[in-house]
Amino acid sequence: MFSKILIANRGEIAVRVIKTCRRLGIATVVVYSDADAGSLAVEMADETVHIGPSPAAQSYLVADKIIAACRQTGAQAIHPGFGFLSENAGFAQRCADEGIVFIGPNPGAISAMGDKIESKKFAQKAGVSCVPGHIGEIADTAEAVKISEEIGYPVMIKASAGGGGKGIRVAWSRQDVEEGFPAVRAEAKASFGDDRIFIEKFIESPRHIEIQVLGDKHGNVVHLFERECSIQRRNQKVIEEAPSPLLDEATRQAMGAQAVALAKAVNYDSAGTVEFVAGQDKSFFFLEMNTRLQVEHPVTELITGLDLVEQMIRSAWGEKLAFEQKDLKINGWAIESRIYAEDPYRKFLPSIGRLVRYDPPSEGEKDGYTVRNDAGVREGDEISMYYDPMISKLCTWAPTRLAAIDGMGRALEDFHIEGLGQNIPFLAAVMDEDRFRSGKLATSYIKDEFPDGFNGTAPTAAQLDILTAVGAAMQRVYAARARSYASGLVASAPRDEWVVFVGHAERRVKVAGEGDITVALLDEGRTLTLTDIDWRPGKPVFKAALDGKAFTVQATPAAEGFTIRHRAAKARVLVLTPRSAELHGKLPEKQAADTSKLVLSPMPGLVVSMDVAAGQQVREGEVVCVLEAMKMQNIIRAERDGVVKAVNAKGGDPVAADEVLVEFA
């Protein structure tokens, strides 16, 4: 077995590979850029090598620097993780020429399957069903428009070297192609160093289902069943699960057999994924093959009991697979939620910054479910604008799908992050949503269920009880402290009757108890009981059990009360005396500021182009500027007709979130 492996990646996947190498007794080398100098992966590795500035094009994508780091440290093999050089056939061949083992498929397999254009040509020759489209390079926007109109809208514009949701757009019209083609080409060049583009028919209401394959250097290939990855936003996977709620056993076997046949045809000898677009009728078409480890590999590990990183290492060393297809079985159900640094309340825009607080749920077995959290960050780390904004991958396993979903909901409750926007409330909303729980999924799910963006959810009756009880309990603790200070530490009787406002809902309550607390709902004839309370003033997370059912909320003080969030339901909770409650109803609502004449930067990023000038007449929907953040280009459009009064930024300028870019007269 290898004695030392270099990990040519960063963040969560670098940490993931280190953990397996430690278990196998293999020393690790981590390369790092300026931005990652203080990262968890650098801290955990046995050796580290600095490889350059923060932009990936000057560090993680520079093959010469990776090879030099191998030579410097004596590493025998390179694990590329995902992204960066992981699907670069030239790099895999370079490793072979240098006598370094590439822990991934052979260069021939990468060439045949890793390139999206070539993979479709190969699949067609192999008799694999493919999505209709133009299989070949496209020279410019005019040709892209011509091809799109021949195929028929909607079409998907994709980078040939793409992956991870980068370099991809759905175009529903000629205008979408004219705007989307150059944007995809720019993203592809920046992310992969390859700006070749192809176009294929976009199948409406599809599902994204992929088959995990695993091969060795002795001609053996098996599949490790499927993953459902249909919950996507901007073609970026958000929630994955294994197995798929769509497939029956016959369809599963058919997809698996096709994936294995394709892998065997290219002598595939590592972990890889054959992706399919599936119809609701269980029909399926080959989409592409990712010749690397997938971000969502943990859900497959959880239902099979296999360590895919270990299997990749063993295959690269030359070992035969220790099992056959008949030995593999699906055990239970697993869900993965990608925790992203993005603000779901602002159309999921990237939110870079420091993790002021990072407190994930504890891993391991819980009451009926198991938690796993794959992360490459710690409290105090910074989420950089140079790389993908994923913070961690939270996974749960349980014997059944609904139990795994319920476990994920509880795990998301227990996940606390401060300092930047994050999508935990949105993920929690999905776990509670009826359509998701039913398994009736499609890649349009987020657009279908949240057409106006995400604004949280209204509290259910059960959540209204939680928010009421927590607010009353917190107020009781603060009031007890105030009485102690005011009376010189002489005990005095606490006030027990209050009025609790949860948003606009008003409830009269009577509170009693010190350790366990009861909250009598005076107008409803019932009593709530809080037990196992884990909270103190200043702690942002309140844990307890309400009438015997455990829960966690995020709670912080606010004017006259608290801001409390349970899953996706967030409310301002006021706990007032009856007299204060009476006066509160007479206070006027604060009016929001008028920003209708301003175009604000929705995220921190870099201005790629400013497309308007002072004095210009602009129509609603026209492009105002293009911003780049997290390697993605974002088109900012005018939300109203008007004349530009002032332009406050130009191409190349860095801008902050909410910075005024353009003012209208």
CATH code of 363's domain: 3.30.470.20
Given this model, what pLDDT does residue 351 score? Answer: 85
Q: How many CB atoms lie within 10 A of CB 337?
A: 28
- Check residue 485 and give its pLDDT: 59
At residue 45 the predicted structure's pLDDT band, cuts being 50, 70 and 90, is very high
The whole-number average pLDDT for the span 489-494 is 60
The residue ranking higher by pLDDT, 619 or 535, is 535
pLDDT number for residue 282? 92
Among 433, 453, 479, identify where a domain stops. Answer: 433
- Judge whether residue 174 has pLDDT over 70: yes
What is d(CA 228, CA 206) in angstroms, rounded to the nearest whole number?
11
pLDDT, tens digit (0-9, with 9 covering 90-100), for 269-323: 999 999 999 989 898 999 889 999 999 999 999 999 999 999 999 999 999 999 9
Amino acid identity for residue 12 in this structure: E
Instruction: Give the pLDDT confidence score for residue 481 in this predicted structure.
Output: 80
Examine residue 173 and state whether it is found in any structural domain, yes or no.
Answer: yes
CA distance 229 to 238: 8
Distance CA 221, CA 213 (A): 7
Closest CA to 464 of 511, 508, 503, 517: 503
pTM above 0.75, yes or no: yes
Has residue 476 been placed in a domain? yes
What number is the average pLDDT over the span 616-634?
85
Other Cβ atoms within 10 Å of 538 Cβ, number:
7
In a domain, 263, yes or no: no
Measured from the Cβ of residue 65, the count of other Cβ atoms closer than 10 Å reads: 19
Q: What DSSP letter does each residue of 331-342 carry, written as one string?
A: -SEEEEEEEESE
Lowest-pLDDT range, 70-74, 91-95, 639-643? 639-643
Whether residue 83 is found in the same domain as residue 182: no
Tell me the mean pLDDT in the region 315-333. Answer: 98
Give the pLDDT confidence score for residue 484 in this predicted structure. 64
Confidence of residue 514 (pLDDT cuts 50, 70, 90): confident
How many angstroms separate the CA atoms of 500 and 577, rounded? 9
* Cβ neighbours for 173, distance < 8 A, ≥ 6 positions apart: 153
Encode pLDDT of 200-215 as tens digits.
Answer: 888 878 999 999 999 9
Rounded distance between C-alpha atoms, residue 163 and residue 221, angstroms: 23
Q: How far is residue 316's CA from residue 101's CA, in Å, rounded to a whole number?
A: 7
The answer as to whether 114 is a domain residue is no
Length of the chain: 665
- Name the residue with higher pLDDT: 305 or 196: 305
Instruction: Answer whether residue 167 shows pLDDT above 90.
Output: no
| Domain-terminating residue out of 585, 613, 633 | 585
pLDDT in tens, 640-665: 889 999 999 999 999 988 899 999 98
State whether 472 and 512 are in the same domain.
Answer: yes
Q: What is the pLDDT of residues 334-344, one digit of tens each?
A: 999 999 999 99
| The pLDDT value given to residue 656 | 86
Q: Is residue 44 over pLDDT 70? A: yes
CATH number, domain of 196, equals 3.30.1490.20
**Residue 625 — pLDDT band, cuts 50, 70, 90?**
very high
Q: Indicate if 97 and 156 belong to the same structural domain.
A: no
415 and 361 in a common domain: yes
- Is 77 within the bounds of a domain? yes
With 90 as the cut, is the pLDDT of residue 133 above it? no
Please give the Cα distance from 382 to 358 (Å, whole number): 11
Single residue among 585, 620, 655 that ends a domain in this structure:
585
Query: Which CATH number goes with the domain that contains 529?
Result: 3.30.700.30
User: Is the same domain home to 555 and 641?
Assistant: no
The verdict on 159 and 53 lying in the same domain is: no
pLDDT over 90 at 24, yes or no: yes
Instruction: Identify whether residues 140 and 50 lie together within a single domain.
Output: no
Mean pLDDT of 567-588: 89
Is the per-residue pLDDT at 592 higher than 70? Answer: no
| pLDDT at 129 exceeding the cut of 70 | yes
Q: How far apart are CA 607 and CA 561, in angstroms?
A: 40
Query: In this structure, what CATH number is given to the domain that contains residue 652?
Result: 2.40.50.100
Q: Where are the alpha helices (DSSP H) in 240-346?
A: 249-265, 297-304, 308-317
Give the catalytic positions in this structure.
288
CATH code (residue 68)? 3.40.50.20
Q: How many percent of the chain have pLDDT more than 90?
A: 75
Q: What is the mean pLDDT of residues 576-590?
A: 81
Least confident piece of the model among 308-312, 348-352, 408-412, 442-446:
348-352
> Could you tell me if residue 305 is inside a domain?
no
Task: State mean pLDDT over 614-627.
Answer: 90
| Mean pLDDT, range 553-570, rounded to an integer | 92
Kindly state whether residue 248 falls inside one of the protein's structural domains. no
Least trusted range by pLDDT, from 113-117, 167-171, 521-525, 568-572: 113-117
Residues 361 and 413 grouped into a single domain: yes
Q: What is the pLDDT of residue 130?
A: 83
325 domain-assigned: no
Instruction: Give the number of C-alpha atoms closer than 13 A to the C-alpha of residue 595, restricted to the C-beta side.
Output: 12
Residue type, 219: G
pLDDT of amino acid 586: 74
Average pLDDT, the chain: 92
Measure the CA–CA gap between 396 and 374, rounded to whole angstroms: 11
Query: With 60 as the cut, is the pLDDT of residue 486 above it?
Result: no
418 and 476 belong to one structural domain = no
Do 140 and 181 reside in the same domain of the chain? yes
What is d(CA 390, CA 400) in angstroms, rounded to the nearest whole number? 27
In this structure, are 343 and 417 located in the same domain? yes
**Domain extent for 152:** 132-201
What's the pLDDT band for 327 if we cut at 50, 70, 90?
Answer: very high
Instruction: Say yes or no: 515 and 536 in one domain.
Output: yes
pLDDT bucket at 177, cuts 50 / 70 / 90? very high
Amino acid at 259: A
Number of structural domains found in the chain: 5
Q: How many CB atoms lie within 10 A of CB 362?
A: 10
